[in-house]
Structure 1
């Protein structure tokens, strides 16, 4: 590249209309602050000539490293994990921005991005389980593994919709397709969205809650808060697997 774009030029090309308004495609942290920060990082990555897929690879490393960071006892491990998850989010924004600006979008990039989301959330939940177990294979480690499996199944339920539609010759899912087919079910879905309990097992929210639990543990001198959080994520993951499957089946996604 002969010259670097200004932030305004980069935003015009890397942030297409509707990017920040996507209900199911843009995390609240992206809309709130990360998409503003990521443009400056993206400009730096253009200087380094990093490809979109290379950035996605770094994103995956940051996400998996966050799970391993939780094996470090005390606040240090919790804070390091939260920082790594923020780096994961930054790279998740920048890989797409570099791809759109340079025109290097690819199916491989989309695939690697999905793999990254699977691995990061699973790694954080597994790390939490072993953290609660004191890095010993006790029941809390099993709960963490179960929660990770639940998080993966929830994502698989979403991705399998695209597979089913593609094999049937259907177009991709639209925002309207996710709405349930009856008004009663639509109201129930909106109520669930208001409660947002499912966010407990998402990497960004969970990493911050883990820090809060670590602070409580430090004050108490035990791991009670982390134990409670581990049980909670396992329960939420199990419930969400079932509810999300029902949501898919009663919506227009497979109609």
Structure 2
């Protein structure tokens, strides 16, 4: 399908044919469930107002990073307001994550720099959210004492785990590229051991590891903030920080074992 002139706002059908090519919503590890469920349709309706502007795809990626980091920072606002605004900012982060690539595909401006910025943005945003969650649990503006820095430490530990999980995945491609091998295929992710393959399927079915992802973590934080509002203290927030730190550290180890036991490095 030919594109309309740059002065003409494209239709949704014209955009969809270019920015949502076959398979973009079906990527095993490259598309978030929220993107498939609703955000790709929302972003498609934002694209007509962006593709003919001077805003570049990389500038949209920078805005994505700002939204993600701001979500972590706003968690320092106590009570339900901070958690709610953080969840909304993560939705904006997800929207911009969709829009930047779609604008790039429409204009034919996809680049290695854009891919790199996108990955760095995910690292920074998701880490900021978990660090912010830990600082929120520490209640720095409260009166509970210096011992609360333990919660900030646990939040930082959860952020480190979330970063390492992403790094483990990305470093597979780095190792293969430096060895002169092609990018890994989806089927290579299946562990060679039948026992590990079964464990991997069980973990995938439970999806507990997703709680340290940006969208899921923001919704989880909002949920525990509501519970705290009912209870009148930070019990559920602090319990949540412990849970996310434990999940992040466990998933870091399990993901590393899964990679080493699969054919991804062969």
Within the candidate set 192, 200, 203, 1:192 is matched to 203
- 2:43 paired with 1:38: yes
- 2:14 paired with 1:21: no
Gaps of 5+ in 2: 1-5, 142-147
Within the candidate set 109, 114, 120, 1:104 is matched to 109
Cα deviation, 1:134-186, whole Å, max 9, x if unaligned, reads 02761000000111111111111111111100000000111111111132221
Shift of 1:15: 0.5
- 2:126 paired with 1:118: no
- 2:96 paired with 1:91: yes
Normalized against structure 1, the TM-score is what?
A: 0.98
Shift of 1:195: 0.8
Normalized against structure 2, the TM-score is what?
A: 0.94
Could you say which residue in structure 1 is the equivalent of 2:3?
A: none
Within the candidate set 162, 167, 178, 1:151 is matched to 162
Structure 1: how far apart are the matches of 2:40 and 2:122? Answer: 18
Shift of 1:48: 3.0
Could you say which residue in structure 2 is the equivalent of 1:245?
A: 256
Shift of 1:34: 0.2
Could you say which residue in structure 1 is the equivalent of 2:66?
A: 61
Structure 1: how far apart are the matches of 2:98 and 2:238? Answer: 32
- 2:146 paired with 1:141: no
Cα deviation, 1:19-59, whole Å, max 9, x if unaligned, reads 11112111100000000000111222224331110100000
Structure 2: how far apart are the matches of 1:16 and 1:186? Answer: 31
Could you say which residue in structure 2 is the equivalent of 1:174?
A: 185
Q: CA RMSD in A?
A: 1.0
Cα deviation, 1:57-92, whole Å, max 9, x if unaligned, reads 000000000000100000100000000000000000
Number of paired residues? 255
Worse-matched range after superposition: 177-186 or 107-116:
177-186
Quick check: 2:209–2:248 contact (8 Å CA) kept in 1?
yes
Shift of 1:98: 0.5
Aligned pairs for 1:220-239 (under 5 A) are: 220-239=231-250
Could you say which residue in structure 2 is the equivalent of 1:71?
A: 76
